[in-house]
Amino acid sequence: MEHLYLTVIFLFILFLFLGTGVWVGLALLGVAWVGMELFTSRPAGDAMITTIWTASSSWTLTALPLFIWMGEILFRTRLSEDMFRGLSPWLAGLPGRLLHTNIVGCTVFAAVSGSSAATVTTVGKMSIPELRRRKYPERLIVGTLAGAGTLGLMIPPSLTLIVYGVTINESISKLFMAGVLPGLTLGLLFMGYIAFWSFTRRDEVPPPEPALTLAEKVRQSRFLIPVICLILTVLGSIYLGFATATEAAAFGVLGALLLAAAQGSLTWETFTTSLMGATRTSCMIALILAGAAFLALAMGFTGLPRALAGWIAAMELSPISLIVALTFFYIVLGCFLDGISSVVLTMAVVEPMIRAAGIDLIWFGIFIVVVVEMAQITPPIGFNLFVLQGMTGHEISYIARTAVPFFLLMCLMVVILVMFPELATFLPETMRNAPG
């Protein structure tokens, strides 16, 4: 009964702070402070300073601002135009035609960005006017971007996977490799939906593009060479064991700067703007992580995580039942919080449950990214919805409706992960002597 009382107090204070517009990181720090003052004898100030320093001085965490900066640099290059020109000749012959450029373009950019919002913005700024000019249905232009943009959270380098790995002290390199096959599978599900639409709504499919010879297609593909080289540099160095995630991020930043310089996009203004954008995003995430670390400490002193884990264990839920319950829990939570906040806010309580249930933590990291992806396209907080509203001028309600099929496909992806856990664990298990 005592722990139920503590849970109610913690949740009440947290939602009070969030409801009054306090930043998520500060709200977490405030809840932890109140918990330490009311329910423990340890000085709250000393505990907070020590915990924040420990959480902020993690070497693994240095990969986060570097990957964010890489995405910011690439966002200011001509990468989206080049990707469209390089991909469209090969995708125009598929069922659904050029709509696949949204899916494949987001998949490619996700592999060098790590940010869902950056992926949507970069791909959408080129594909939206091109697809509108060719008379593709508006709902599918917007819906495919909303859904495929979430691949930025799954396909490495994923900011959410970095945050998850730091939070539970798991290898970032292994988490990155675990996200490759599920990310590609989810992309294929999206492409399958487009093909299904093209077969069932033939009257909505625009006329085919002018036929190109193989030589012309290959010539157009030269525009993809820079981004493919960057992907191979970042992910290849991790997978082959040449570099840690942090070192690969540094290579990625250098590669992005060289790519921007080669395209003529690297000016002093774009350099400083990208650096400040990365700084703002990194500071926001660092504040959330610091607040979550202090909250985890406060909850540990109260014994709340152990009590909740024990309560779950007493219910004798099977691992499948626990995953189903957590799926609904994170979908609801995602309606009110962004993905990174959802992860760090809940890990102190959820991690003991997962360990007690014998669920692989690498697999669970991929699972949690899929359900967090759903939060990107669910109102009222779905961030991709706001990005697309700014780009298209549509109402949030309209954009959310266009994203419903892709939300359901993500639910199907959770089922696939449960049925075939090797999809997430195969590549990490094949890594040998990989630094992490």
What are 141's two structure tokens?
């232009």
Query: Among residues 7, 209, 190, 187, which one has the least CA distance to residue 91?
Result: 209
| DSSP element (H, E) containing 77 | none
Report yes or no: 126 and 84 within 8 Å, Cβ to Cβ.
yes
Residue range 380-395: mean pLDDT, rounded: 76
Q: Are 230 and 263 in contact (CB under 8 A)?
A: no
User: Which residue bears the tokens 């774009």?
Assistant: 270
- Among the listed residues 362, 329, 353, the one whose alpha carbon sits nearest the alpha carbon of residue 429: 362
CB burial of 3-35 (b: ≥16 within 10 Å; e: otherwise) equals: beebbebbeebbeebbeeeeebbebbbbbbbbb
| Residue pointed to by tokens 């899929």 | 370
Query: What is the rounded CA–CA span in Å between residue 278 and residue 429?
Result: 33
Lowest mean pLDDT among 54-58, 118-122, 178-182, 329-333: 54-58
Please report how many Cα atoms fall inside a 13 Å half-sphere around the Cα of residue 325, on the Cβ side. Answer: 11
Work out the pLDDT band at 433, boundaries 50, 70, 90.
very low
Q: Measure Cα distances from 170 to 126, 159, 271, 339 in Å.
A: 37, 14, 33, 18
Does the model's pTM come out above 0.85? Answer: no
pLDDT greater at residue 423 or residue 429: 423
Across 50-54, 146-150, 179-183, 186-190, least confident range:
50-54
175-228 pLDDT, tens digit per residue, is 888 988 998 999 999 999 999 998 888 888 787 777 777 777 778 778 778 878
Please state, in angstroms and rounded to a whole number, the distance separating the CA atoms of residues 148 and 190: 7
